[in-house]
Structure 1
Amino acid sequence: MAANSAVPAKMKAWVYREHGDVATVLRLDSELEVPEVQEGQVLVKVLAAALNPVDTMRVNGVFQLPGSALPAVPGYDLAGIVVKVGREVKDLKVGDEVYGFMWHAKKDGTLAEYAAVEVAFLALKPKKLSFEEAASLPVVIQTAYGGLERAGLSRGKSVLVLGGAGGVGTITIQLAKEVFGASRVAATSSTGKLDLLKSLGADLAIDYTKVNFEDLPEKFDVVYDAVGQSARAVKAVKPGGSVVTIVEHGKELPPPAFSFVATSDCSTLEKVKPFLESGKVKPVIDPKSPFPFAQAIEAFSYLQTGRATGKVVIHPVP
């Protein structure tokens, strides 16, 4: 293992020692041990992290990976710099700027100064992106890309994105247009966010406060449901089309709807890298972001309102 004397023994991290409401159980710990780097891992100095709804579910205890243990550090998204390299690591070196998503995190997540991360979950950060922009992307870009791919979106097909202004939705619109070559992209949002949808490439921006999308005469090859409305979504899909939902898991869905959960896969980050470097696909960060590390609980509270536009990011760390 490459030694690095600059890495301290202790770090600041947000920790929960029991499951419950984030504001009640999440605490800032200034004396948490820096995680050991295992074989095939690198230690990343976290410079930015981002929140996802699953982070709240994890603290609440609603969502748990097998083998999860307490106390735990929440957070899956991160961007930072490699400061230590484990055995058998050939693709990354100390000093590399990386980003990724720690889907394996059973105990130690990304709301900490340091994180030990499997190399397979990391990619080199696109030079065009800041650390906070990069941190906003891994979970949502892999969820958006994987869902569109599984739903069979391809060049010349049409897609409707439900929840177009959210973290996943803002990226789904752009990937559908720029990467998958959709001929027509429609998306839903509240009144004040319609212009954002159009700026991201939506051909049709639908105000869900005024229009029921399933009542429109136009139907779509793919409906990407980022809000949990599969029963309505199946009424908006063409015969032979598909509906992918990223919200409704573990319940019976009306055909042709199916549920999709992203897994951490740096190959997706590599595939989209040219589009990020060229600016054809852009991170969308909520205007209230970034939240400073000390205000992680406020960041969670804001995410839980459901009103965030794009991603809620925490930067700098700590």
Structure 2
Amino acid sequence: MKAMVIHEYGGPEVLRAEDLPVPVPADGEVLVRVRAVSVNPVDYKRRRSWAAQPLPVVLGWDVSGVVEALGPDVADFRVGDEVFGMVRFPAEGRAYAEYVSAPVSDIARKPPELTHAQAAAMTLAALTAEQALEALALRAGQTILIHAAAGGVGHFAVQLAHTRGARVIATASARNIDFVRGLGADEIVDYHARPFEEQVSGVDAVFDTVGGDTLPRSFGVLRPGGRLVAIAGQPDEALARQHGVHAERILVHPSRPQLEFLAAEAAAGRVVPHVSQTFPLDRVADAHRALETGRTVGKIVLEPVP
């Protein structure tokens, strides 16, 4: 099978096509013929450096495809099932390939309403958004500020917060205002026009997907007793105590029940993955370059050539 392999850390050019053996599914795994893989910022971060992982490495975690073979003791999937999931994160996923073995705990059946590209997009990013909203204990009637609402994680967070009945305030650039409004945001803050903390105050929750100085600035927009969840930086505990709020950082983890929940939401039309660009698998370097611009709307997806 074809796979994109890295033998050294560095720029997008280190991703190279190679022929590798088709994996054999172990106990509790299935073999998936890959139809689509989505790309996340963690992909290029791990491409640049991954001290804990010996080389060579096959990147990629988000996959949608068809079950081709079953490992021992697999009873809840059949050959021919269409599935999607986030495979083995944060360990090596090996999804940049024509085939990948996947633990059954990391995958769910793909809703027929979604294409493989859409399903692959609705994995790491959507799981991150769902797990963040659960950590925030977001309830109907509360107000949440979601940063970078047009991005991969952000565009799912807006939709999932909206379906919970929350009032959604979203930061976005002017060019993405209509897109974010269409996701269900009640108010959109153009962070280029004025600092967001001059436009927002007294919210119940903040979901920060940006990090940097956005994270400490976000404490000031929370009401006392509010909650902040970050995915791109570690919140300052002293700053949280100063503002009388709860703050934590989360790392997404695989969850079949949450994938099944997301599949049901997508089937009902309450969550719609947005795929802005697709690339053939052997052009994954171009996909990384596009993602590294920081201007991606929704998700970028790779599609192996049939």
Same fold by TM-score greater than 0.5: yes
TM-score computed with the length of structure 2 as normaliser:
0.93
Q: Secondary structure of 1:46's partner?
A: strand
Please report how far the alpha carbon of residue 290 of structure 1 lies from its aligned counterpart in structure 2 after TM superposition: 1.0
Taking every aligned residue pair, what percent have the same amino acid on both sides? 37
Q: Secondary structure of 1:73's partner?
A: coil
Please report how far the alpha carbon of residue 107 of structure 1 lies from its aligned counterpart in structure 2 after TM superposition: 4.1
| Alignment check: 8 A CA contact 2:61 2:93 kept | no
TM-score computed with the length of structure 1 as normaliser:
0.90
Q: Which amino acid in the other structure matches residue 93 of structure 1? A: R
**Alignment CA distance shift 1:82-1:105 (3 Å):** farther
Residue of structure 2 in register with 1:188 after alignment: 171
Residue of structure 2 in register with 1:76 after alignment: 61
1:307 to 292, 295, 303: 295
1:296 to 284, 296, 302: 284
- When the two chains are superposed, the root-mean-square deviation of aligned CA atoms in Å is 1.5
**Alignment CA distance shift 1:252-1:20 (3 Å):** farther
Q: Which consecutive unaligned segments of at least 5 residues does structure 1 have?
A: 1-10
Distance 2:93 2:147 in 1: 32
The list of structure 1 runs, each at least 4 consecutive aligned residues, that deviate by more than 4 angstroms after superposition, is none
Distance 1:275 1:266 in 2: 14
Distance 2:227 2:271 in 1: 24
Please report how far the alpha carbon of residue 143 of structure 1 lies from its aligned counterpart in structure 2 after TM superposition: 0.2
**Alignment CA distance shift 1:313-1:185 (3 Å):** same
For this pair of structures, how many residues does the alignment match? 298
1:133 to 106, 118, 133: 118
1:274 to 264, 279, 299: 264
| Alignment check: 8 A CA contact 2:84 2:120 kept | yes
1:227 maps to 2:210: yes
Q: Which consecutive unaligned segments of at least 5 residues does structure 2 have?
A: 241-245
1:260 maps to 2:260: no
Please report how far the alpha carbon of residue 275 of structure 1 lies from its aligned counterpart in structure 2 after TM superposition: 1.5
Residue of structure 2 in register with 1:5 after alignment: none
1:27 maps to 2:16: yes
Residue of structure 2 in register with 1:200 after alignment: 183
Q: Which amino acid in the other structure matches residue 34 of structure 1? A: V
| Structure in which a larger fraction of residues adopt helix | 2
Distance 1:316 1:28 in 2: 12
- Please list the CA deviations of residues 78-124 of structure 1 after superposition, one character each: whole Å capped at 9, or x if unmatched: 00000010001111110000000013464451110000010000000
Please report how far the alpha carbon of residue 217 of structure 1 lies from its aligned counterpart in structure 2 after TM superposition: 5.2
2:82 to 97, 100, 110: 97
